Structure 1
Amino acid sequence: MAAGKEIKKKIGSVQTTQKSTRAMQMVAASRMRRTQDRMQEGRPYSQRIEQVIGHLANAAPEYRHVYMTTRGVSRIGYVVVSTDRGLCGGLNVNLFRELIRNLSSRQADGTEADLALIGNKAAQFFRSVGGNIVATMGNI
């Protein structure tokens, strides 16, 4: 009899967790929809800004600002935004894997890389792996 009660209790617990999870999914979907709607509303403005900048750039093609000239890349900087804690699936792992891959390809080209790290997980990871860390920020 006691085993039956325990099983019923577990089933009830799982059902409660399912309800909570479903509610969180609905809230996340609603937020995502709202964000996508905002992005769509802002798209005409960004397209118009691109047109204006393109028009300005073509207005005086002989003028070259110092920031618009092409030059060799000898040093690059990365701003890495990670989490302070776990419970985020493979977010940090995938981020760090991609960054390490990118860093190694840049270092093969002879380019120096600086890292500005946001989040405790990034700071912890790159202290153990190594890298030129110029700034860290955590517990945000």
Structure 2
Amino acid sequence: MPSLKDVQNKIVGVKKTAQITSAMNMVASAKLRGAQEKMENFRPYADKFNEAMSNLSGGGNTDAFPLMDVRDVKTVELVVITSDRGLCGSFNSNILKLAYKKIDEYEAQGKTVSVVCVGKKGNQSLKKTGKVRTRFVDIMSDFQMFNAREIAQDVATNFLSGAADKVEVIYGSFQSVAIQRPVVQEMLPITPIETEGEEIKKQAGDYIYEPSTEEIMDVMQPLYLNVIIYHAMLEVGASEHAARMTSMDNATNACKDIVSDLTLVYNKARQAAVTGELMDIVGGAEALKG
């Protein structure tokens, strides 16, 4: 049985750990409110942008736009977005698990895979594969739209050069404070909505475009890529704080359970020590009587 001093030191150490995890839980909770608000405010904009792009591309001349060039897929690029910091449970590992799964699937089909890492945690894991083409780290704690624009421009340039025939974005989607699911979204080529007959006429009648659809699409396509990347980064930002809050809450509860168990061990050790001392006293008294 461990000594009383050892058990006491363990109890003090675990209590200090619980104080740290509790403080991190509160910090994550405070940051989550701001990140979740930004994400929820951006979602309607992203949805409306997608709707406008679908409407424009449905009736336009897609051959005039290189970003809509659908070709035989021989090379796939994956944009993997994770957080820069850890201590958020299995959030990053779930995203990476999906990324490795997609890499295995495409390689099994005979395709070449390259990776763009956004976030330090993804880069730390995926750089071991030797497939990382470029990385954007130390930006997820305070990213802005210009960060998303830089990433989108890099990916679009690589696509236009023919180095990648298809681009997908892998990130953690915020479902709720308790649930964050990794998802895959196709980014390039930009695919037009499939409409036929009366539906085309109906959509064409919803909007009158000035200037022409082609001129508007020429401006909107790069913006569309920025929106996809920035939206994914917002989702990851909110999901990271939610996952860390849950993880730190679980850690704090685990510390309390450990303290309870150690307190029981301490009481047993103290009782055993007291019993031993009493036995020594009784034994000594009996020896004096003899």
TM-score range, shorter chain: 0.5 to 0.7
Q: Does 1:98 align with 2:128?
A: no
C-alpha distance in 2 between matches for 1:68 and 1:91: 33
- Tell me the secondary structure at the aligned position of residue 73 of structure 1: coil
1:126 aligns with 2:124: no
* Structure of greater Rg: 2
Deviation at 1:83, TM superposition (A): 7.9
Matched with 2:264 is none
Indicate yes or no: 2:22 matched with 1:22: yes
Over residues 25-51 of structure 1, what are the superposed CA-to-partner deviations in whole Å (9 max), with x where a residue is unaligned? 111122122211111122332233233
**Aligned 1:24-63 pairs, distance under 5 A:** 24-58=24-58, 61-63=59-61
Change (3 A) 1:15 1:26: same
Percent of paired sites with the same residue: 26
Unpaired runs of at least 5, structure 2: 140-290
Secondary structure in 1 matching 2:72 = coil
Report the alpha carbon displacement of residue 20 of structure 1 after superposing the two structures with TM: 1.3
1:108-140: CA deviations, max 9, x gaps?
2221112345634432x225xxxx454467798
Aligned partner of 2:61: which letter? Y
- 1:68 corresponds to which letter in structure 2? M
The answer to whether the Cα contact below 8 Å between 2:74 and 2:111 also exists between their aligned partners in 1 is: yes
Task: Give the secondary structure class of the aligned counterpart of 1:43.
Answer: helix
Deviates more, 1:15-24 or 1:5-14: 5-14
State the SS of the aligned residue for 2:129.
helix
The separation in 2 between residues aligned to 1:84 and 1:49, in whole angstroms, is 28
Structure of higher RCO (CA pairs closer than 8 Å, 6+ residues apart): 2
Q: Which amino acid aligns with 1:126?
A: T
Contact 1:73-1:111 at 8 Å conserved across structures: yes
> Which structure 2 residues correspond to residues 1-12 of structure 1 after superposition, within 5 A?
3-12=3-12
For 1:98, the aligned partner's letter is: L
* Cα deviation, residue 91, structure 1: 5.9
Give the corresponding residue for 1:67.
67
Contact 2:84 2:138 in 1 (8 A): yes
Distance change in 2, residues 1:44/1:102 (3 Å): closer
Distance 1:15 1:51, change over 3 A: same
Structure 1 portions without partners, runs of 5+: none
Asked if the contact 1:75–1:111 (Cα under 8 Å) also holds between the matched residues in 2, the reply is: yes
- Conserved? CA contact 1:115–1:134, under 8 Å: yes
Q: Shift of residue 76 of structure 1?
A: 0.9
Q: Over the residues paired in the alignment, what is the CA RMSD in angstroms? A: 3.5
Deviations 1:63-82 (A, max 9, x none): 12343243321111234567
Q: Give the C-alpha shift of residue 90 in structure 1.
A: 5.1
TM-score, normalized by length of structure 2?
A: 0.36
